[in-house]
Amino acid sequence: MGDRNIGVAIDFSACSKSAIRWASENLVREGDHLILINVQGSVYYEQGEMQLWETTGSPFIPLSEFSDPNIMKKYGVQPDIETLDLLNCIARQKKGITVVSKIYWGDAREKICEAVEDIPLHSLVIGNRGLGKLKRALLGSVSNYVVNNASCPVTVVKHLEPETEKSI
């Protein structure tokens, strides 16, 4: 039962929160490891040890440390409160799962695919920003690239905006 490495690509956007929720409700089960994959665009060497992690990514960071702003500062990551609350709630509700994060630096498309191989992941969940056809053609789509290049099953979760009340 469990004992799988389930990855969720996160960038602290509404799309990645939707991906976390979907993974916790539909995929993660007792005994699994929920591994949060975060890719930072550039490397800022505030402390020399980050140079060691540039090619391999950070060591696994337990949720308790991921929630500590002082520890996350050394990785150059600023998780938002809503994401941390969501993850802590999942960890409390789903007994028997382990939540850790791993941080990479560089191009998100390439680093997420590297994470699939390096960790290795049994499955990956990624959010979709819902770019239009023109923006997707110009900017490229991280989720599209990962779906076509990752060596494990990838689920793309589209973030749906809550319906707003229409004024009459």
What pLDDT score was predicted for residue 77? 87
CB 6 within 8 A of CB 115: no
CB 143 within 8 A of CB 126: yes
Average pLDDT, the chain: 84
Q: Where are the domains of the chain?
A: 5-158
Helix axes 14-26, 81-93, angle to 10 degrees: 0
pTM of the model: 0.85
What pLDDT score was predicted for residue 139? 44
Rounded-to-integer distance, Cα 70 and Cα 140, Å: 34
What pLDDT score was predicted for residue 164? 43
Report the pLDDT averaged over residues 115-124. 96
CB 77 within 8 A of CB 107: no
Alpha helices, DSSP H, located in the chain: 14-26, 49-53, 63-66, 69-75, 81-93, 108-118, 133-139, 142-149
Report the pLDDT averaged over residues 129-138. 56
pLDDT over 90 for what percent of the chain?
56
Q: How does pLDDT run across 15-42, given as a tens digit for each residue? A: 999 999 999 999 999 999 999 999 988 6
What pLDDT score was predicted for residue 138? 44
**44 vs 144: which has the higher pLDDT:** 144
Per DSSP, 95 falls in state T
Residues with Cβ within 8 Å of residue 46, at least 6 apart in sequence: 73, 74, 76
What pLDDT score was predicted for residue 94? 87
CB 21 within 8 A of CB 125: no
Q: How does pLDDT run across 40-97, given as a tens digit for each residue? A: 886 655 555 566 677 789 999 999 999 998 888 888 888 899 999 999 999 999 888 9
CATH for 5-158?
A: 3.40.50.620
